[in-house]
Chains A and B, each alone.
Chain A
């Protein structure tokens, strides 16, 4: 009996190993956004410093307006993001092996927005770049006796821009409701050149996908008290359409042989429903607490790639952010500056079932304001767990703000 129990126990232990199939490398697919899958709009420097917890709704200008309640507001944001990768495309999933994580970074304009308040109505217009698809470019050389006989070069780029229009209205003293319409467009490109120098044979595999789509958002804000705000935000499920083109080419210069296979397709990415909820609580006059929780319905995520449905074994995820802001003042001669100091934490689980990967971020931020003009900085550092590769990610964001 004891031996049988031991045997069953051993079988039970071994079964997961036996059944384990090749993992779907969802985090590393071409359409995976840079750094994280869980993107719900873009975050300004203030929100970034507070653990991306300040409602996270910069993409809906209304969201920011609801916080600031100004007649007019204009903001520009610049971002520098870095992330590490281990497996992506054919890197570390084929013969191309790097024994370390590879780094990629980009610097760009993150968003620009303008807001206007008219009586109880709010109008907002913004341009944002919620996603990019950069990967570390690689060049691999194969040599024999000091002579290179083959080189492989690969380049991966892409972006997703969003044009957003929002309209909202106060309903009574406690509730404000707004809706937004968002048009997204962008491109993902991948270029691989495989040069067999010895044979004078070059193979190129170039692909591009032009993205377009639109979605709606709904925001509800409640002000139960002057010190407490509660917001709920919905992003509708929607379809991103991709006009995909590919060109696979073999060229032998010795024999003047060229073989091409060109492909094109109308692909779709089904972006699932996202629901977020956040609070802002004024603990003291100069001390704010914010927190949010965002649900991503990733189990309904679907993607086709060149007319074929691709397997992405995703689970739903819940991203959590929490942050604090302390406001202090600095007087230099006759000028009084407001200086907010912020800190926060983010738990960001990724949707792939295997590996079960998640990021922990620590964030900080500060700003300096003089009357209607200010500048904010947000900084976050993250470390990934679960994949076994200890990926790191960081972001620095700077906002220039002007308000009336």
Chain B
């Protein structure tokens, strides 16, 4: 279970601060699959980090009950100089997973048997993604967070990703942040819209997409307006 209570998050840029999330309150249950639709570059990853507990909000509280995953498929923790097995072992110990169980899970699911003894830097990008994906699902969690990545690899691989994710979600919740309404529709049953730093309910994803596009146009209009004003003055 994750509860957002009046949560705000800003981003600092060279030209000042921009709000990514403003006073958001929401309840995410343990047996829910919630999709959050957002336009590119509007703070999906920041919201994912807030939900995962990696970052703290600027104001408000994020309450978490049980274990929350890191964004599924995150590969940043894998050191290029370590082998696949070494990486899984160290990261397992960090998150409280039995290393042997994790290695067995990844070997079976991702079909990486031989590659686990290779150094991470010699992996192909698909292998690397598979390893990161299967490792994130090897850890039983109560809430899974997905930041755009919900499956990896080719069509066949993606089917297996979906199957294993479904298995995990029998006993856990999902929050999936994406710009892709079709993907959200496929994996989620309740939807939210991240629009102009607000988190609002969304009952129809097509309308959600239109709302995002309209908001984007308004933003561009304001931008070009202020740019032309600067040009004339």
Does A associate with B in a complex? no
Interface residues of A (CB under 8 A from B): none
Interface residues of B (CB under 8 A from A): none
